[in-house]
Amino acid sequence: MVESDSVVLDVATGTGLIAISTAKLLERSGRVVALDISSAMISKAEEKAEALGLSNITFLVADVEDVTFDDASFDSILSASAIPYLQDVKATFGKFSSWLRPGGRFVFNTPQSPMFAASDIGHRVLADVCGLDLLDAAHEVGDVSRVKNLLLSVGFKDVEVPDTFVMKDTSPEAFAERMWKSTTGFAMTPVDAVLSEQQLEGVKEKYIIALTEEGKRLQVGGDIVNPYNELFVIAHA
């Protein structure tokens, strides 16, 4: 998908997994610009690239929503597991559209909304007990028609069908505990930042009860099957 002489932007590169893999595919005329908001992540990515002797990657510590590039700077823009974290998705998609050369591609993945079959139940428990109105992390881009309309509105096209990743647990109790850790540990739902330790314990008790019952409903044979759907999107400039 990436031509050997492409100029590629990797958004939210983290420790450089996508950027480094892409750089290896490119010839000397191709290059990768990889950015991340975390300086620690970028430092690790730079160490990895240097160890591999890669000289065709430029790493930047930057927030993609603040940074600017000239129009038609890139052949491809890639982003792995980062789009739900954007504050203004439409505006950022518009920037991506202008940064791409004609025929360029924006490729990213995002969880389908709701992220898990049990997400809505967990969110309802938090809403009922604490009055916390939590949106599913992928609410804005995790729907095929919604994300397609967003992309079309800024000049993109094409949305592919999601694949399904199935997560399994061995018991309803294990399922409930994992979902609790997922909900409270995810950056898009910082529950521990708005609740006291005492409140958190009270919420957890009710949450575990509700999700254990949901785990029993999702049980297939000896496993708790909790489908996790992900959209893989290719948008053409």
59 phi, psi to nearest 5 deg: -100, 140
pLDDT at position 25 is 93
Q: What is the pLDDT of residue 225?
A: 74
Q: Where are the domains of the chain?
A: 7-112+136-162+230-236
Contact indicator for 160, 231 with CB cutoff of 8 Å: yes
pLDDT score at 131: 66
- 71 close to 45: Cβ distance less than 8 angstroms: no
Helix 197-218 to helix 172-185 angle (10° resolution) is 130
pLDDT tens digits, one per residue of 24-60: 999 888 999 999 999 999 999 999 999 999 999 999 9
pLDDT of residue 29: 86
The answer to whether 125 and 207 are in contact (CB under 8 A) is yes
**CATH of 7-112+136-162+230-236 given 2.120.10.30, 3.40.1350.10, 2.30.29.30, 3.40.50.150:** 3.40.50.150
SS (H, E, C) 165-179: EEEEECCHHHHHHHH
Alpha helix (H) residue ranges in 114-159 = 119-130, 144-153
C-alpha 10 chain-centroid distance: 13
What pLDDT is attached to residue 107? Answer: 93
**Average pLDDT of the chain to the nearest whole number:** 84
Residue ranges, the chain, pLDDT below 50: none
Cα angle, residue 47 at apex, residues 46 and 49 outer, rounded to 5°: 65
